[in-house]
Amino acid sequence: MVFAATPLNTNNILTDQPGWVTMITIVILLVIALTMMAYMTYYERKVIAFMQDRLGPTRTGPRGLLQPAADGVKLLFKEDIIPVGADRWVFFFAPIVVFVTALTSFMLLPLGGRWYLPLTPNWHVNLFLTDLNVQLLAILALGGIGVYGIILGGYASGNRVSLIGGLRAAAQVISYELILGLALVGMILLTGSLSLNRIVEWQQQHVWTILFQPFGFLLYLIAAIAETNRAPFDLPEAENELTAGFHTEYSGFRFSMFFLGEYINMLVVSGVAATVFLGGWSGPVLPGPIWLFIKMLLFMFIYIWLRATLPRFRYDQLMGIAWKVLLPLTLLNILVTAAIKLIVNSL
């Protein structure tokens, strides 16, 4: 969230805040991202425990609420082991790529619109860091860069199963990244913008795009789960085949960066889905960021639900679904959406 009041002196929201406000915003967004990520692990453990008739975390703090802090301390003080055959510099650099790209993507998410302070109509608070004309494209591009960290981590470990995990991640992300982007094209045709703020404004003036693009939403959901390497598409890790896949040789804070990156990426794709298809921060009574958080929780619940109920796909099934089923369906969705919009505009 962007939480500093600045005088409204221009219509360009990219330049109407001084640099110190932007720095404060970045720090606040860092705290929000890391806090949300930590408590998403708690949320996941509690939901899966409920589905399996267990209690989940209960001992660390009231109702186990301090469990994420305990996990963080444990990871911080674990021994950092570097294999003898590893490429040391690449081994060190790979998890940083995953973590930094995920965190940067999160910072591009608008957590709300522009809020004018009461009794001071010329002052406002931006609940977003910036508003790029190609904001959605930038988030997709950062997601594509993040996979390089997984590939490099698998290669640099000097371990065969880690290398196989990295190669699987490369093929999987290349396949499903295409579907993820194409699933959003129908919505872009409707709203005419790649700016997440403009997309939310369009939905506020019309209706949530999920009503126009239910098929695109379903395709996005499937591709997003595969893009973030989550069950039932977690083939790059596949414990029963590859031990832990690309991060088998990682421990301590280096492993925690992969872990943080994975969960922050889940928050990012959930935030994009909530913003693009469910109106983002728009909603009655409650503040905008609360509405966005509730909608993101819905998507995170779907992640957890699928993990708890579905078995892992075989790798050939995973790739076959992408190229033989989902890709033709996304192209068909684009063609139908474009044809309908052309017909409506010609009336």
Cβ atoms of 22 and 1 closer than 8 Å: no
Cβ atoms of 136 and 114 closer than 8 Å: no
Using CB atoms within 10 Å of the CB of residue 285, give its burial: 0 to 12 exposed, 13 to 18 middle, 19+ buried: exposed
For residue 258, what are the CA distances in angstroms to 34, 92, 150, 311, 328? Answer: 13, 12, 8, 23, 32
pLDDT at residue 16 above 60? no
pLDDT at residue 14 above 50? no
* DSSP state string for 60-106: SSGGGTTHHHHHHHHHHHS-----TTS-HHHHHHHHHHHHHHHHHHH
pLDDT at residue 11 above 50? no
Query: Which of 9-13, 71-75, 289-293 comes out lowest in average pLDDT?
Result: 9-13
How far apart are alpha carbons 274 and 292 in whole angstroms? 7
* pLDDT (average), residues 115-139: 76
Q: pLDDT band at 118, cuts 50/70/90?
A: low
Q: pLDDT band at 122, cuts 50/70/90?
A: low
Cβ atoms of 153 and 166 closer than 8 Å: yes
User: Nearest CA to 112 among 270, 294, 292, 297?
Assistant: 292
Which residue is associated with the tokens 């492993």?
Answer: 255
Per-residue confidence (pLDDT) for residue 167, from 0 to 100: 81
For the entire predicted model, the pTM comes to 0.88
Residue 125 bridge partners (DSSP): 5, 115
